[in-house]
C-alpha cells in the first residue's frame, strides 16, 4: 500500500483551518457576565485596601461590571487564600497579594 505525501504547506493550511474552526466557540461568550470579587487578606483602610479599591474602580469602568472588594484579614493571609482556593475556577474571583519586605 502506498502512502501519499502531504506537503508542508498543505499541512499548515489544514492545521490553521482546524484552529480557526475551533475558535468560533468562544466568540459568543462575554466576560464578565457577573460581578468580579477581589479578595484582600488585609484590613480595610490600609494601603493595600486603598490601592485595591482604586484598581477595582478602574477595572469596573473598563470591564463594565462591578468589582467587589472583600477584605478578609488574618494571620499569614490564610483566610483569603483559602477562600480563593475554594472559589469556582471561572475567573470571577481574584486574590490580591503583595510581597512585603522582611
pLDDT of residue 66: 96
Given a contact cutoff of 8 angstroms between Cβ atoms, the answer to whether 91 and 31 are in contact is: yes
Domains of the chain from N-terminus onward: 36-95 (3.40.190.150)
pLDDT of amino acid 49 = 92
pLDDT tens readout for residues 73-86: 998 899 999 999 99
Q: 3 or 71, which is more confident?
A: 71
Element (H, E) at 15: helix 8-23
pLDDT in tens, 5-61: 777 777 666 666 555 555 555 555 688 899 999 999 999 999 989 999 999 999 999
pTM to 2 decimal places? 0.68
Name the helix (H) or strand (E) containing 50: helix 47-63
For residues 92 and 37, give the distance between their C-alpha atoms in angstroms, rounded to a whole number. 6
Amino acid at each position: 500500500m502506498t502512502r501519499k505525501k502531504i506537503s508542508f504547506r498543505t499541512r499548515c493550511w489544514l492545521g490553521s483551518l482546524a484552529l480557526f474552526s475551533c475558535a468560533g466557540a468562544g466568540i459568543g461568550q462575554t466576560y464578565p457576565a457577573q460581578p468580579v470579587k477581589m479578595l484582600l487578606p488585609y484590613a480595610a483602610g490600609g494601603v493595600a485596601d486603598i490601592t485595591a479599591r482604586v484598581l477595582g474602580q478602574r477595572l469596573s469602568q473598563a470591564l463594565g461590571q462591578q468589582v467587589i472588594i472583600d477584605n478578609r484579614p488574618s494571620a499569614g493571609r490564610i483566610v483569603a487564600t483559602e477562600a480563593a482556593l475554594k472559589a469556582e475556577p471561572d475567573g470571577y474571583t481574584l486574590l490580591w497579594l503583595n510581597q512585603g519586605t522582611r
